[in-house]
Structure 1
Amino acid sequence: MLEAFLSLTLPPIVRCPLKYYHSDRDHCLLQSPIVRFFAVDFQDQSCLSLSSLFITMSMFRRRGSQRQQQEQEHHELHPESKINELKAALGPLSGCSLLYCTDACLKRYLEARNWNVEKAKKMLEETLAWRSTYKPEEIRWNEIAKEGETGKVFKANFHDRFGRTVLIMRPGRQNTTSMDNQIKHLVYLIENAILYLPEGQEEMVWLIDFTGWSLRTNVSIKTARETINILQNHYPQRLAVAFLYSPPRLFEAFWKVVKYFLDPKTFHKVKFVYLKNKESVALMESCFDVDNLPTEFGGKATMKYDHEEFSRLMIQDDVKTAKFWGLDKITLVETNGHATPALVA
């Protein structure tokens, strides 16, 4: 009866004696409980070819993958039910957590976890716990201004063709050694970039210029890992693409280690681009107006970082940030000649 059942449910396959499996793949399959069930020894001492069974199982897996992809596409087009489900699972929120957990925010966490509500809930709760202790919305420019003196990371004064905020990073201008302050500086700029995204835009772009980069100026593996952890786990779906522009060969050794900390979604957002590579040039031109793009990235514009001017803009933004989060009880603190907003206890 089992033989008859298999003949109806599986496509025509070649039979062979059970003792003759011909490949390592067959040997691995033989260890599977499912294969052990099907690969029975009939009265004629023959059984289903394990390789054929492997093909059949692969076919069913592909069908399952296609079905999962269709479900994800449906959720992306009609996310309301999943968002409401996640909202109910989270329960009542208040304060900054309530402001943070907008419908758009919940959608990003659902997308990051393939629309699995339970996994998205866990991820979001971990972010809320992190935000309650790290308090990124309370970081002010005067706390991290020293990190920005060389312009190693700053918000560009232009957007890409899709209206996304651009952060420019120049690791060759590293000027400090404190991992905590370096990460705090980056978190501050990420929060700032997000808060001032154009309406309807959710993502930012990173442009990374390797001019002057060396092992001496390179951040540690520990710092890179912690940065990746924060970006992936607490700012999901915020990075559209990171362009690594003409990285030196020496960087490849560092990248071989760092890339293993990236999840697949983030990994595919990292693009290596090179000045004389036609595909790289086309990619950059598809994302940026070359008249706005600095020459360091193959454009025509001149990039000049003015720390005094950038500090003035960030101080203005701090006032807006405090107001957005309901933290607008601020006073002005004199820091390096600047009047800087600071929270009042």
Structure 2
Amino acid sequence: MSNAHQEAIKQFLSLMETAEVLFNVGYPGLQNMHQGYPTEALVRFLKARDWNVQKAHKMLIDCLQWRIQNEIDNILAKPIIPTDLYRAVRDSQLVGLSGYSKEGLPVIAIGVGLSTYDKASVNYYVQSHIQMNEYRDRVVLPTATEKYGRHISTCLKVLDMTGLKLSALNQIKILTTISTIDDLNYPEKTQTYYIVNAPYIFSACWKVFLILCFLVLFS
């Protein structure tokens, strides 16, 4: 890590010490975020904001306030009920732990193509997603850290595009909501994404996307 990055971490730590007094964010739930590795947690927010200390600090304060306002630290104790509704949500939001990499990183499989997100309201899918994030951070990653004897704070995600159709565009609202939550409150938690079983429609859309990016950048 460069000297500039180390200095940024030092400044960030200083700001957070002040924040505990000014914003009263030194609450017990902070442990759920860093799991005993506070410096590494700060680095995630710094990376998410290109090592801009002020922006990373604001991002973290906003995240802590979001957790308090939405009682995120208690969300695992609030199951989706009744059971039939929970099962309907999980059956249409296909996400699960499929194993570990050679380096010990949890591998999360996501059935993008077959997830329909159409069995409940957006709020239930958001709740389910946050619960999976919290379970990953509080249980899966600490367990991997203990098992492999080194700090593991990220995972790998395999995006299975089997069954992907144009109708998936109807899910853009809920997927945008979930993505925004991850970007703002769970930054830098995925080390690598792998896309598998991509049908032609995905390849075609991806090529169009790349062409549009090229035109925007070089026009």
Query: Does the pair score TM above 0.5?
Result: yes
| CA spacing shift, 1:75–1:164, aligned 2, 3 Å | farther
Higher helix share: 2
Amino acid at match of 1:118: Q
Amino acid at match of 1:188: Q
In the alignment, is the contact (CA less than 8 A) between 1:173 and 1:217 conserved in 2? no
Between the aligned residues of both structures, percent identity stands at 20
How far residue 218 of structure 1 moved from its aligned partner, in angstroms, is 5.5
Extract unaligned runs of 5+ from structure 2: 81-85, 146-150, 213-219
In the alignment, is the contact (CA less than 8 A) between 2:93 and 2:117 conserved in 1? no
| CA spacing shift, 1:84–1:100, aligned 2, 3 Å | same
Aligned-partner Cα distance in 2 for 1:186–1:135: 15
From 62, 65, 68, the counterpart of 1:126:
62
State the TM-score, normalized to the length of structure 2. Answer: 0.71
| CA spacing shift, 1:83–1:183, aligned 2, 3 Å | same
In the alignment, is the contact (CA less than 8 A) between 2:93 and 2:116 conserved in 1? no
Bigger RCO (CA 8 Å, 6+ sep): 2
Aligned-partner Cα distance in 1 for 2:17–2:196: 44
- The DSSP-based 3-state class of the residue aligned with 1:237 is coil
Is residue 93 of structure 2 the alignment partner of residue 164 of structure 1? no
Is residue 175 of structure 2 the alignment partner of residue 224 of structure 1? yes
Q: What's the counterpart of residue 206 of structure 1?
A: 157
Q: What's the counterpart of residue 60 of structure 1?
A: none
In the alignment, is the contact (CA less than 8 A) between 2:92 and 2:117 conserved in 1? no
Amino acid at match of 2:11: K
| CA spacing shift, 1:94–1:180, aligned 2, 3 Å | same
Aligned-partner Cα distance in 1 for 2:45–2:133: 17
| CA spacing shift, 1:73–1:175, aligned 2, 3 Å | same
State the TM-score, normalized to the length of structure 1. Answer: 0.47
In the alignment, is the contact (CA less than 8 A) between 1:75 and 1:82 conserved in 2? no
How far residue 136 of structure 1 moved from its aligned partner, in angstroms, is 3.3
How far residue 165 of structure 1 moved from its aligned partner, in angstroms, is 1.3
How far residue 232 of structure 1 moved from its aligned partner, in angstroms, is 1.3
Aligned-partner Cα distance in 1 for 2:6–2:101: 25
How far residue 168 of structure 1 moved from its aligned partner, in angstroms, is 0.6
Q: What's the counterpart of residue 192 of structure 1?
A: 135
| CA spacing shift, 1:215–1:119, aligned 2, 3 Å | same
Is residue 19 of structure 2 the alignment partner of residue 90 of structure 1? yes
Q: Deviations over 1:242-295 (max 9, x none)?
A: 1111322323576667xx9xxxxxxxxxxxxxxxxxxxxxxxxxxxxxxxxxxx
| CA spacing shift, 1:216–1:116, aligned 2, 3 Å | closer
How far residue 99 of structure 1 moved from its aligned partner, in angstroms, is 4.8
Aligned-partner Cα distance in 1 for 2:72–2:201: 33
Q: What's the counterpart of residue 112 of structure 1?
A: 48
Q: What's the counterpart of residue 68 of structure 1?
A: none
| CA spacing shift, 1:181–1:219, aligned 2, 3 Å | farther
Aligned-partner Cα distance in 1 for 2:90–2:130: 13
Aligned-partner Cα distance in 1 for 2:128–2:205: 22
Q: Deviations over 1:1-24 (max 9, x none)?
A: xxxxxxxxxxxxxxxxxxxxxxxx
Aligned-partner Cα distance in 2 for 1:103–1:219: 40
How far residue 146 of structure 1 moved from its aligned partner, in angstroms, is 3.1
How far residue 106 of structure 1 moved from its aligned partner, in angstroms, is 1.7
Amino acid at match of 1:227: I
Mapping of residues 312-323 of structure 1, within 5 Å? none
In the alignment, is the contact (CA less than 8 A) between 1:174 and 1:218 conserved in 2? no
Amino acid at match of 1:94: Y
Q: What's the counterpart of residue 153 of structure 1?
A: 95
Aligned-partner Cα distance in 2 for 1:151–1:81: 40
Aligned alpha-carbon RMSD (Å): 2.9
In the alignment, is the contact (CA less than 8 A) between 1:171 and 1:218 conserved in 2? no
Aligned-partner Cα distance in 1 for 2:68–2:205: 33
Aligned residues: 186
